Amino acid sequence: MKQIIGGNWKMNGSRLIALEFLSEMKRLGSGSVSSEIILFPPFTLIPLMTDAAADAGIETGGQDLFWLEKGAFTGEISPAMLADAGATWFLAGHSERRHVFGETDEVVRKKLEAGLETGLRGILCVGELIDEREAGRTEEVVKRQVEFALKDQKCVSPENFVIAYEPVWAIGTGLTATPDEAERMHSLIREWVAGIMSNDFADNTRIQYGGSVKPDNAAEILSRPSVNGALVGGASLKAGSFMDILRAVPLRK
């Protein structure tokens, strides 16, 4: 199964930064790595980055989307608009959308459904808050997020769907789940996916780890058998560190 490495730029970047980043990625050999590479820049940079990234082996995605096709929804971007801009992927339910902007499981589900129906491929982000972790509720919370998003989804398949397990306390903090903890949660998520969909679906679904993935911890996390990639925030903003993470992907997967 090909590993999938995403770079989530969040609210960072500019046209100049994007072009410099992509030319540096190409110079460093992004076109010849073994993993699938997806960049999630701010919406405004998607057309530029899609064009400039095509020959660097990189696809682009939206960090979010709205579930309706068009209409009076000031500030929103529809799945078709993302596709029209050149994106082939989207994120649904990133922890900042859930916890800074109050997105519920129901909203995340609708976004996932709408994006997949439009033909985009989606990464469902799940993960527990520190309070939930300390209260021993990690499994309950992540299971609920996975089940709510996936149950009875019609257009979903292992080809158009990826899960990113991102413990919220590890995002942007320099803290990471230990490789053992990540492996344990990924195995549980795979079991839950098997229960909702099928064993075959779960076996073929890629599960990324996210939360302070850096060049110096990537190899250890990415070598775990249940970890099929990473969703990288801060370290994806510099071509050098992002390429170091891509190079840390073990060849056997």
Which residues contact ligand 13P (rule: CB under 6 A)? Answer: 8, 94, 166, 171-172, 210-213, 231-235
Q: For 95, what's the count of Cα atoms within 13 Å in the CB-facing half-sphere? A: 20
Question: DSSP string of 20-31?
Answer: HHHHHHHHHTGG
Cβ 74 to ligand 13P, closest distance in Å?
26
Number of other residues whose CB lies within 10 A of the CB of residue 23: 13
Contact, 63 vs 8, CB < 8 A? yes
Catalytic residues: 94, 166
Contact, 103 vs 52, CB < 8 A? no
Nearest to 4 by CA among 235, 241, 227: 227
